[in-house]
Amino acid sequence: MKKSLVLFMIFVLSVSLIACGKETKDKSLNDNVYKNEKLGFEFKIPERWGGNYQVKEIEKQETIPGETVEFLLSPKNAKDENREGLLSFYIIDKNVYAESEKEEGPSIGEYLGEKGDLVYLVGLPQSNPFEVDSEEGKLFDTMHMSFEDVKEAFTITK
């Protein structure tokens, strides 16, 4: 009986250690770099963001064709669940992008590049959604990135 219990415990411990040791191949935040192998890109997280963000991945939306990865302001000490966007990456089919560019109105996002049948775009906020003097407003201003900053931090890997 003791031998079976010991063998069972060794088995459970082995499985636990193996499960903990697996790396997530699709998405990770190692070395302040968000990596998404499925969508084929990497984004270097600015140090000034200091962990005050969340990543939200959306596979299908009604308003935007393709897939979206949003980086949302999420102050470390915030209690509410409402998050404002710092930036959004849109990964869409090249043909869909070409058709959308023919339409009147604003573009889906700023063009970052393309590879294969995919086009990579970024959407940036037009203004600070918070009161300028509020804690969140000040944090948003420090975390805001220009299009040039995003281009430097973004890499297509696929």
pLDDT at residue 60, rounded to an integer: 75
Q: Could you tell me if residue 150 is inside a domain? A: yes
Q: Could you tell me if residue 42 is inside a domain? A: yes
Q: Could you tell me if residue 144 is inside a domain? A: yes
Q: Are 19 and 40 in contact (CB under 8 A)?
A: no
pLDDT at residue 8, rounded to an integer: 36
Q: Could you tell me if residue 87 is inside a domain? A: yes
Q: In whole angstroms, what is the distance from residue 42 CA to residue 155 CA?
A: 5
Counting the structural domains of the chain, the total is 1
Burial class (CB in 10 A: 0-12, 13-18, 19+), 47: exposed
pLDDT at residue 2, rounded to an integer: 47
Q: Could you tell me if residue 44 is inside a domain? A: yes
The parts of the chain modelled with pLDDT lower than 70 are 1-31, 62, 80-82
Q: Could you tell me if residue 4 is inside a domain? A: no
Q: In whole angstroms, what is the distance from residue 36 CA to residue 118 CA?
A: 14
Q: Could you tell me if residue 140 is inside a domain? A: yes
Q: In whole angstroms, what is the distance from residue 136 CA to residue 125 CA?
A: 15
Q: Could you tell me if residue 19 is inside a domain? A: no
Domain range holding 151?
25-156
- List pLDDT tens digits, range 43-83: 999 999 998 999 999 987 767 788 999 999 998 877 766 68
